[in-house]
């Protein structure tokens, strides 16, 4: 099979594309796969690190405002359409797949004009502009969440497949769990709360945790807190100003970054995080109760819609970014961790929207399009 995958910008767009490429290679070892991206995004690191060739074109989000800058971007994007068409003609793919970013507009449009089968994967519960714009041109649209289906109009074919993620549910023995906790300086006697804000951390979440620490409100739970590498030293200094040593906070292990995230997510009783599509997928696949703080100021407020996937079934609580305080977060935490029955119910509800075989489902849809 010969495949082109268009993915650009963030890891949330690129990693699903890489997972799809790896699945195709696993099933059909002789497959030839290349990626199309831009020169600006994380694809320049992640795609090549995964062992795939990356070809770049110009592509930008188009705005209705007629400014000189936007006119320049519009010109470059139309030029990018021609560049995508040239790459497709030279490579002669059996299918062109888009997994997110502005790059999909030019690449899928070019493939459609050349009568190449096309497939788009939408990770968010609220579909982006590219997916809506390309719905009529795309042969099959795959969605991570069922909630996205009614939000995509005029599509030929929509299939709920979930999103490929690396983290898998594991059942650790009591001894294995204790070993992980011992390494963190924590005990099994209190519930474990995992806090993270993405690879760079989340300042608003971090300062809510600082407030909890200063008021010594974390009595009913233990916390594994990933601050983000860039924020760790700032937080350390902030705590030192209140005579608190970041390495010796009762019931809390604060670290810049979690490298063994699969282990930590599996042993956690509750997760506090942003609500990117991959995070929501991981939380649901693991069956974990969550308190979600959607990142504001993102396109279509899609993190809020992602969070609602879990809130609507009773698996998560949402606290809006502007409303987040240490007091409110601690109150929500106590409501969950002090009620073992509630903990179990929320976790079981999260599992009802899990999709653990996403790559297999996606591969099956690809095979339907490739004759």
pLDDT digits (tens, 9 = 90+) for 331-371: 999 999 999 999 999 999 999 999 999 999 999 999 999 97
344: helix, coil or strand?
Answer: helix
Residue 88 is encoded by which pair of tokens? 């497709």
CA-CA distances (angstroms) from residue 62 to 69, 185, 188, 227, 326? Answer: 11, 50, 52, 34, 39
* CA–CA gap between residue 364 and residue 358 (Å, rounded): 10
Query: Tell me, what DSSP letter sits at residue 295?
Result: P
State both tokens at 78.
């139309």
* Beta carbons within 8 Å of 129's beta carbon, 6+ residues apart: 61, 299
For the chain, the straight-line distance linking the first and the last C-alpha, in angstroms and rounded, comes to: 10
Order of all β-strands in the sheet with 252-255: 252-255, 222-226, 192-195, 270-273, 290-292, 316-318
**Residues 346 and 289: beta-carbon distance below 8 Å:** yes
What does the pLDDT read at residue 66?
58
Q: How far apart are CA 265 and CA 282, in angstroms?
A: 9
Q: How far is CA 315 from CA 23, 286, 309, in A?
A: 30, 12, 9
Distance between CA atoms of 93 and 83, rounded to whole angstroms?
15
Q: Which of 29, 46, 33, 40 is CA-nearest to residue 4?
A: 33
Give the pLDDT of residue 71. Answer: 57
Q: What is the pLDDT of residue 69?
A: 63
Residue ranges in 28-97 assigned as alpha helix (H): 43-49, 68-91
C-alpha to C-alpha distance for 140 and 196, rounded to whole angstroms: 34
pLDDT tens digits along 256-277: 999 999 999 999 999 999 999 9
**Alpha carbon of 295 to those of 103, 299, 319, 342, 344: distances in Å?**
23, 10, 11, 26, 27
Calculated CA dihedral for residues 307, 312, 314, 315, nearest 10 degrees: -30
The Cα–Cα gap between 189 and 207 comes to 26
Domains and CATH numbers, the chain: 2-163+356-369 (3.40.50.2000), 174-351 (3.40.50.2000)
CA atoms of 202 and 297, how far apart (whole Å): 14
User: Degrees (nearest 5) of the Cα angle 308, 217, 196?
Assistant: 45
**Angstrom distance (rounded) from CA 31 to CA 306:** 34
DSSP one-letter string for 242-275 = TT--TTSBTTEEEES--S-HHHHHHH-SEEEE--
**Which residues of the chain carry a pLDDT beneath 70?**
60-79, 199-201
Q: Confirm if 170 and 262 have CB atoms less than 8 A apart.
A: yes
Which pTM does this prediction carry? 0.89
Token pair belonging to 334: 């106590």
Give the pLDDT of residue 19. 95
Calpha distance 31→57 (Å, rounded): 23
Spatial separation of the C-alpha atoms in residues 181 and 197, rounded to whole Å: 21
**Quick count: other Cβ atoms within 10 Å of Cβ 141?**
25
> What pLDDT does residue 78 have?
63
């Amino acid at each position: 099979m010969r495949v082109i995958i268009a993915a650009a910008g963030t890891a949330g767009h690129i990693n699903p594309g890489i997972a799809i490429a790896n699945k195709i290679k696993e099933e059909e070892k002789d497959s030839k796969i290349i990626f199309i991206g831009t020169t600006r995004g994380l694809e320049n690191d992640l795609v090549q690190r995964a062992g795939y060739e990356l070809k770049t074109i110009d592509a930008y989000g188009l705005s209705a405002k007629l400014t000189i800058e936007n006119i320049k971007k519009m010109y470059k994007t139309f030029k990018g359409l021609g560049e995508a068409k040239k790459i497709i003609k030279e490579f002669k793919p059996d299918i062109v797949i888009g997994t997110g970013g502005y790059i999909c507009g030019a690449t899928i449009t070019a493939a459609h004009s050349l009568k190449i089968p096309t497939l788009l994967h939408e990770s968010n519960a609220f579909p982006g502009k590219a997916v809506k714009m390309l719905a009529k041109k795309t042969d099959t649209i795959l969605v991570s969440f069922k909630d996205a289906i009614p939000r995509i109009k005029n599509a030929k074919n929509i299939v709920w497949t979930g999103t490929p993620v690396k983290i898998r549910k594991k059942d650790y023995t009591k001894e294995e769990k204790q070993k992980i906790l011992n390494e963190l300086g924590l005990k099994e006697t209190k519930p474990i709360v995992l806090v993270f804000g993405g690879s760079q951390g989340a300042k608003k979440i971090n300062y809510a945790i600082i407030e909890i620490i200063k008021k010594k409100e974390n009595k009913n739970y233990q916390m594994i807190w990933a601050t983000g590498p860039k924020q760790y030293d700032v937080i350390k200094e902030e705590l030192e100003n209140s005579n608190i040593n970041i390495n010796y906070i009762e019931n809390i292990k604060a670290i810049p970054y979690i490298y063994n995230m699969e282990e930590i997510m599996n042993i956690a009783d509750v997760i506090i995080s942003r609500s990117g599509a991959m995070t929501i997928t991981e939380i649901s696949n693991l069956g974990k109760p969550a308190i979600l703080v959607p990142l504001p100021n993102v396109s279509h407020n899609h993190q809020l819609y992602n969070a609602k996937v879990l809130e609507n079934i009773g698996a998560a609580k949402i606290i809006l970014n502007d409303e987040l305080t240490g007091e409110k977060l601690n109150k929500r935490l106590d409501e969950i961790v002090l009620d073992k029955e509630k903990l179990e119910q929320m976790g079981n509800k999260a599992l009802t929207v899990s999709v653990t075989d996403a790559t297999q489902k996606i591969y099956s849809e690809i095979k339907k399009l490739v004759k």
